[in-house]
Chains A and B, each alone.
Chain A
């Protein structure tokens, strides 16, 4: 684990807050990110149109709470305010459609694990949206996507300091160096010098 020094590429995420100067609001969330969206919806609502795109995960499905909040509490028309998707592919397709029809002044918010946040950024970039234009919240899990510099496979949901590469099975040390293009942290083989000499594996990205 690397501590006590600062690596520039490690992104920092704030919480979600409404941008009140806007023409519309598009919120994209997955899994635990749904909770961040619920917190956002509790803040004083902006007057412009709001659309939530949500991808539930097996361990974290806040669909019911979102539906309740948007429809019963806030009185919004669910058909336009919430679109729930069962697969990531369906979510990206829907996002593409929404962004194609959007105008400048549409504020974009994203909540989910880190890899998800950067997938949103990559999708939005196809529409000319800059990283700085998106409000992000890293929800709950600090799990990392890890890019194996040896076989170039990305392993998802890594909670530990050392992880087995899902591509080549090497033991990778998870570094703080983050690639915005890949949305993943660099992973380097840890026992290259002395095969089999692997330090204790600890859960440090719960």
Chain B
């Protein structure tokens, strides 16, 4: 079982899994929003406040949700997923933060260079692939750098739970409802790279622990996981190395997989150009070097399925009928065996090193 499959396997009732997201079409239809403000929240990280174009309330969401932003740039449309930072119950605006990726294929560069205040954008309905477990006795959130973003809405949800149960306890003395304890561990390269530290400090007080690497303060993930009480769930988002280290420590210490949740932002890696052949229509689609297969299909007017666009949810899976080269799997969804077998591909992040690949679509 791949580690990310675990994340999506959690069976708490409130989690929307891709399989039962029936409203795929309305999600793709999207919401029209206007950029209200733009501000720099850390070096290379820009925050955008979005309000609905017609002034109506935006859809509510749960902590950990993201939206996919459509970015029309020249002849192509980039679609990137960004976590929602605003408090989940606040429906008059959404906030997202975008880090300028050094070798961006366009998405983050578009957001940084072309998006201006007052501009209209289209975003998909919020989707949560990183929801909090409702059965946890304690929640440990571990963020690295820009990986802080999904936790911004999660901490709001956790704080609200804590407050709600506090007033419930006051009303019925001796009540057994105790909200899960929680803490946020936030590691970053330096103060300049750390977004939202003062805001989080004000919100969380002692529940926030910061690790400033430039000051030599590092987070010992293994130690952190070794001392958690039974019933804890851990959530992590950040650079791949950090996420992998956490998954490995959790596994070695005997954490059951259902208690370990992670989210990685995967941007589709670049490669060399090739051609997709669609079996049903015999249509041929050229995939550019800096384009994902999904983007190429969309550009050619093919209505291919997707949800997360980050290799996590499995919604975009397509069957490979043949290829004259090799597949380059970058997703976290397929198991190692499935990747080896080469019969399936996740076109949102994966590609092929070949001349032609034929897909059953």
Residues on A facing B (Cβ under 8 Å): 19, 21-23, 99-100, 102-107, 125, 127-130, 132-133
Contact = CB atoms under 8 A, between A and B. Distances in A.
Given A21-B251, A127-B137, A132 B256 contact: yes
29 contacts: A21-B251, A21-B252, A21-B254, A22-B253, A22-B254, A23-B226, A23-B254, A100-B230, A102-B230, A103-B228, A103-B230, A104-B228, A104-B229, A104-B230, A104-B232, A104-B253, A105-B226, A106-B254, A107-B254, A125-B135, A127-B230, A127-B231, A128-B135, A128-B138, A129-B230, A130-B135, A130-B256, A130-B259, A132-B258
B255 A104 contact: yes
Contacts of B115: none
Interface of B: 135-138, 180, 225-233, 251-256, 258-259
A104 to B, nearest CB: 4
A25 to B, nearest CB: 9
Nearest to B230: A102
Contact of B232 (A19, A128, A132): A128
Contacts of A105: 225-226, 253-255
A-B pairs, top 9 by smallest CB distance, nearest first, are A128-B231, A128-B137, A22-B254, A105-B254, A105-B253, A133-B256, A102-B230, A104-B228, A21-B254
Contacts of B228: 103-104
A interface: dominant SS: loop
A152 to B, nearest CB: 23
B351 to A, nearest CB: 35
A126 to B, nearest CB: 9
B232 A133 contact: no
A128 B136 contact: yes
Contacts of B233: 128
A46 to B, nearest CB: 10
Given A127-B137, A130-B258, A133-B258, A106 B252 contact: no
Given A127-B137, A128-B136, A130-B258, A103 B252 contact: no
Contacts of A102: 229-230
A133 B255 CA distance: 9
Contacts of A21: 251-254
Contact of A103 (B136, B226, B258): B226
A128 B230 CA distance: 7
